[in-house]
Chain A
Amino acid sequence: EDQVTQSPEALRLQEGESSSLNCSYTVSGLRGLFWYRQDPGKGPEFLFTLYSAGEEKEKERLKATLTKKESFLHITAPKPEDSATYLCAVQAAGTYKYIFGTGTRLKVLA
């Protein structure tokens, strides 16, 4: 069964304290892996798409990487405005579906 698991569920960091969020997936052929940011009461906002193992994408303090089993979202020197829930989703080859993880709630303290 296709599955996405994100860890940790919640993470508290001090401002400037770098860390990584994990997204482990099991799919029968990966078409794409997607990272989103979701602020409370708002819709998910697209961040990155990764298609193949070894691929990396960067945007400001965020960097996403992909292996055959998992993806990491690295946050370098985070700021309080990076506080949000980060969602990971995968799309399996040959399907219409996007399978979402339950997210990691990140809190960055000033």
Chain B
Amino acid sequence: DADVTQTPRNRITKTGKRIMLECSQTKGHDRMYWYRQDPGLGLQLIYYSFDVKDINKGEISDGYSVSRQAQAKFSLSLESAIPNQTALYFCATGQGSYEQYFGPGTRLTVT
């Protein structure tokens, strides 16, 4: 089984809808991250969490919110989706300041 899983893997939604992307990990890591990836751009950090009670904004948090339900679960919500949020979204985990392990990604399309 994969160490980091994301659901759904693909999602098409309409402008204005609320949508939640979920991430689970079995690596036992304390840190979890949400990134978005757009063609020609590097991975951009949306939110990160160092533990259940510690959640922080990244570079591009506007229009997004997160919830850390447990050490192993970190969800990303788009409160009112807009077309420029169409992107590939990745969850990642890490322990301390070491390498990150990424999930398979969610391809989100907002029409």
**A100:B42 contact, CB within 8 angstroms:** yes
Secondary structure of the A side of the interface? strand
Within 8 A of A (CB), among B26-59: 40-43, 45, 48, 50, 56, 58
B90 within 8 A of A: yes
Please tell me the number of chain B residues within 8 Å of chain A, measured between CB atoms.
Answer: 22
**A101:B42 contact, CB within 8 angstroms:** yes
Give the CA-CA distance A43 to B99 in the complex, in Å.
14
A-B contact count (CB 8 A): 49
**A103:B42 contact, CB within 8 angstroms:** yes
Contact of B105 (CB < 8 Å), options: A32, A42, A98, A102: A42
Please tell me the number of chain A residues within 8 Å of chain B, measured between CB atoms.
Answer: 23
B64 within 8 A of A: no
Binding site for B on A (CB under 8 A): 4, 31-32, 34, 36, 41-46, 49, 87, 89, 91, 96-103
* Given pairs A46-B99, A98-B45, 4 additional interface contacts (CB within 8 A): A41-B105, A43-B90, A43-B92, A96-B56
